[in-house]
Amino acid sequence: MKLYAEAADSGTRLDVWLARRCDTLTRSAAGRLLEQGAVTVNGKPALKSMRLCGAEEVAVDLPEPVEPDARPEDIPLDVVYEDSDVIVVNKPAGMVVHPAPGHPGGTLVNALLYHCGGQLSGINGAARPGIVHRIDRDTTGLIIAAKNDTAHQCLAAQLQGHALSRIYRCLTVGAPEEDAGTVNAPIGRSTRDRKKMAVTPSGRPAVTHWRVIERLRGCADLECRLETGRTHQIRVHMAHIGHPVLGDPVYGTAVPGLTGQCLHATGLRFVHPRTGERIELSCPLPEEFVRARDKRRN
């Protein structure tokens, strides 16, 4: 991983700066990496006490994170659809999809393991059983999980071939001039802030189709359809065209009264992996989204 110091970082200790820039590192962990020679500054090993000038390239050889095994937890779920092969849940805001460093429990996977009695596909390993796709922690709405490997493989192939369709609603800051459009811009990890994604030429292809549902005071209600599924895709693409998702604290600005971004996975379409039936599901907008929208109608 490469990071770049800026003028504002001048005088900051290297270990302190690394801990600030890397969400997975504490200051002591950054110090250990420096002592192990896993960090270089402008191509040369550096001491943790080094102070930055503000124009350095810092390369960090991060160890692979160890994901905790998921364990069943009795957490209530809003189940929209379920059979012996798949389950579709309306995920609430604040729920992480699967265990990860910093989030060992309380996740959707923990809840699914309890609800399904451990009957989930094992393709993604012990930390992410059943998970076919993900949505952000503070994004609400529909997410599908597979109960067996055959169903998982079928759904993953549909996701890759765009037969599994995901429809989102979002409120944006300001309204696009056009009534509909497509953002075709590659997304990759930001070189300036590892916690963020960004539109970058070296990123992976990403395509978002959008249309205006309603123009509101100072914002717009949009429907977005994903052709690809990159991390933070809608949030990054909307910010890229100058209309970040309302309440997004990472790619826009936090809004008083909102707990997170107004982004909701409202629709899901897929072909059932066993029957071949076309399944079309939807769920209502969350109350917070509706309140934010209605407030801006006046």
Supply the residues annotated as catalytic. Answer: 136
Distance of CA 235 to the CA centre of its chain: 9
**Structural contact between residues 77 and 142, judged by C-beta atoms closer than 8 angstroms:** no
**Structural contact between residues 246 and 235, judged by C-beta atoms closer than 8 angstroms:** no
Q: What phi and psi values does residue 185 have, to the nearest 5 degrees?
A: -145, 125
Q: Tokens 């914002």 — which residue?
A: 219
Contacts of 226 (CB under 8 A, 6+ apart): 166, 168, 207, 208, 233, 234
